[in-house]
Structure 1
Amino acid sequence: MQASISTFNKQHPAFPSEFDLVVLTNNKGLIVTLSSYGASIWSVEHIGDDGVKVPLTIGYQQIEDWATNPYYFGVTVGRVANRIGQSRFSIGEEQFKLIENEGPNQLHGGPGGFSHRIWRTETKTNDDGVSAFFHLESADGDQGFPGTLHTSVEYRLTNDNELIINYHAVCDKTTPICLTNHTYWNLSSDELSGILYHHLQINADNILALDDQQIPNGDIQSVSNTCFDFRQPKLVGVDICEPSNGYDHYYIVNDHKADQLNFVAKLTDEASGREMEILSTEVGVQFYSGNFLDGSYRRENGEFINKHQGLCLETHGYPNAVNIEHFPTTIVEKNTPYTQTTVHRFKHL
């Protein structure tokens, strides 16, 4: 088997216009299906020596569900991932009011954020695999953010079973930029199984403390002697009832070194032996345990998508950093490139 790229142009009345599906395949049987709608991952699958295709992510059964995508399956999130408290922030003396979409707050870039846009597509064959690039222009004032922003996302699938996501953006005004991917992972061979019996390790001594609306309040909280301690591999389900509604928390990566890949997390399904390591240039990761998957939609196998059937490990900057001065800033100066790289390294497939 050789690495390959296939591109399909799609039309469907649920989508605002034509969009592309791109299928990346490496020489080890790993298959990544991408969509230009939301610059998103629709699926990651593996074909083993027995010829059986095993999904490593969860997605929708009906194509029209991808158009609304209430669970944010697989999308590129932007301009700013996670939550901005009260949907407002300031740059210097200038105040900006954003479009709300989670109570008074803005979540994942607003109701018309990057996850609900058609991106321009191109593909490329590399020495070590194959790539798909998605490009988007976001106008000045989009969702309340200043400046015209040009964003590119590259998904590179290597023959070493690495899925690398490279982000690049530049804006003609000073503006917040904080991008991530929102794929839900489930490495189990049992399609009915959720993620409670996955082992998870997160390289973090601390998390951000939250208020009652899931907004970081500026405090740092140690994971020691709490349910949030994943410094050693631990079953996801062991302490999941201790947080009020499961995990949806931001972990600060230990010993982060700028502009290089740092070990973030490792997810393991011991029944199958499958493992995924995450490395990133980002300072932290949002661990979300699929708490709001409510059975309203069906996944590819026809089963309802229920709570804790998949989990997200979203590498990005501190949430609500635009409103907390001592957090590492997510404000990027005008005409200054923003870059981010996250690597998903699969083992024992």
Structure 2
Amino acid sequence: MDIKIKQLQDNWRVYQLINQNGMMVEVLNFGGIITKVLTPDKNGQVQNVVLGYQNHLDYQSDKNFFGALIGQVAGRIQDASFQLNGKTYTVDKNEGNNHLHGGKHGLHKVIWDVEPFHNQHSVGVHLTYIIHEKGQGYPGNVSLHVTYALTNENQLSLEYKATTDKPTVLALTNHSYFNLSGNIRETIHNHQVSINSSKILELDKSLIPTGSLLDVTNTTFDFRSSRPLTDGISGDHIQHKIVGDGYDHYFIFDQQKEESVTVKEPTSGRMMTIETNQPGMVMYTANNELSNFKYKDGSSSKYLGVCFETQGTPASLHHDNLPSIILNKDETYYQKTVFTFSADS
């Protein structure tokens, strides 16, 4: 295993994590962004399976959140406000009247302190950052520690830890767009996905959760048995139409299983499994054109990647029937998600 560091402009650096199988994960200190995940297909051909820019500078103006660490709260906060211990807090309105993915100056736009490491089990980077209370309107100063680690078993683990000096809210995730065909040879329509979930959060026309839980049985949201993403992209369920034909929904995991999600791409034979301690996940199928992203003929397109955003949901700030994302002073936030890559022989 090895780690390589490249100096970019100013204080930007890119870290390449390489295992003994030729798998490589590339991470920027800007935004904690995963820019590449190179992994073999069934024929041993190593290709990139996440969306990213050829020019690293394009991440400065990126509106797609490609590969980034998301926070302080991932997802949409209704009306960009919430109550905590009887006090109302107002945060940045960066999507209409709502707050999305930490706002205009969220974690995807900061320079993280990075310490690389290399041991007998893995190679990786520790990323640290302090969110100051006066920044985005959230209460408290929050100390963050995120670890990306790559093993020789082709596992990429993302481990998040945080503490705060006063009660606050916190829901972190990573926003990588996966396309297991490799180098975006195809859209994600035929990706076969299974999710250990019998309920999703209903969305209103502004993509804000209503608080109602919808049973997935006999719908195109039922991934308890594997099904292709095209079922929802071309489906006529009103919830697909609301998000622009596809998925952008929070799936609540059922009883904790070792694998919460599996994804297979039939042409390449690649498979990805996801294990997490989080209560649920937003699956987003890139239903809108990816702004500033050049693809093949130079134009952007829909459905080039699919995100699996394991996280708590900000809907819990307005609906009591959902797991809380409140972090208290004497608590430690801990989240771990592991992506394991393989391929049919």
Task: Output the TM-score relative to the length of structure 1.
Answer: 0.92
In structure 1, distance between residues paired with 2:183 and 2:211:
40
Q: Tell me whether 1:312 sits opposite 2:307 in the alignment.
A: yes
Shift of residue 190 of structure 1? 6.5
Matches of 1:284 and 1:262 in 2, distance apart? 14
Q: What secondary structure is seen at the aligned counterpart in 1 of 2:159? A: strand
Is 1:204 the counterpart of 2:204? The answer is: no
Matching residue of 1:267: 263
> 1:9–1:296: structure 2 CA closer, same or farther, 3 Å change rule?
closer
Query: What corresponds to 2:332 in structure 1?
Result: 337
Structure 2 match to 1:248: 248
Per-residue deviation, 1:235: 0.9
Alignment of 1:26-45 (within 5 A): 26-45=19-38
Q: Give the one of 274, 285, 289 matched to 1:289.
A: 285
Q: How does 1:153-172 map to 2 (within 5 A)?
A: 153-172=146-165
Q: Which amino acid aligns with 1:7?
A: I
Secondary structure at the aligned position of 1:65 is classed as: helix
Could you tell me how far apart the structure 1 residues matched to 2:183 and 2:87 are? Answer: 52
**Contact residue 7 and residue 22 of structure 1 kept, 8 A:** yes
Seq. identity, %: 32
TM-score computed with the length of structure 2 as normaliser:
0.93
Cα distance in 1, alignment partners of residues 132 and 29 from structure 2: 18
**Structure 1 contact 7–21 (Cα < 8 Å) conserved:** yes
Greater alpha carbon shift after TM alignment, 95-104 vs 317-326: 317-326
CA contact (8 A) 2:192 2:226 kept: yes
Can you list the C-alpha shifts for 1:110-159, whole angstroms capped at 9, x where unaligned?
A: 11000000000101112212011111111013211011111111000000
Structure 1 runs of 4+ aligned residues shifted over 6 Å read: 48-51
Return 5+ residue gaps in structure 1 as ranges. 12-16
Aligned-partner Cα distance in 1 for 2:72–2:46: 34
2:47 aligned with 1:86: no
Q: Distance in 2 between matches of 1:47 and 1:262?
A: 24
Q: Does 1:129 align with 2:122?
A: yes
- 1:239, CA displacement in angstroms? 2.8
* Corresponding position of 1:183: 176
Does the C-alpha gap of structure 1 residues 50 and 320 become closer, same or farther in structure 2, counting only changes over 3 Å? closer
Matched residue SS, 2:177: coil
Q: Secondary structure at the match of 1:340?
A: strand
More off after superposition, 226-235 vs 77-86: 226-235
Alpha-carbon separation, structure 2, partners of 1:52 and 1:227: 33
- Aligned AA (1:9): Q
1:9: which partner in 2? 7
SS of the residue 2:21 aligns to: coil
Q: CA deviation at 1:85?
A: 0.3
**In 2, are the aligned partners of 1:195 and 1:310 still within 8 Å (CA)?**
yes
Deviation at 1:67, TM superposition (A): 1.1
Return the alpha-carbon distance in structure 1 between the equivalents of residues 312 and 192 of structure 2.
24
Distance 1:152 1:302, change over 3 A: farther
Structure 2 residue runs without a partner (length 5+): none
Distance 2:316 2:258 in 1: 21
Match for residue 96 of structure 1 among 79, 86, 89 = 89
Distance verdict in 2 for CA 1:93–1:21, change over 3 Å: same
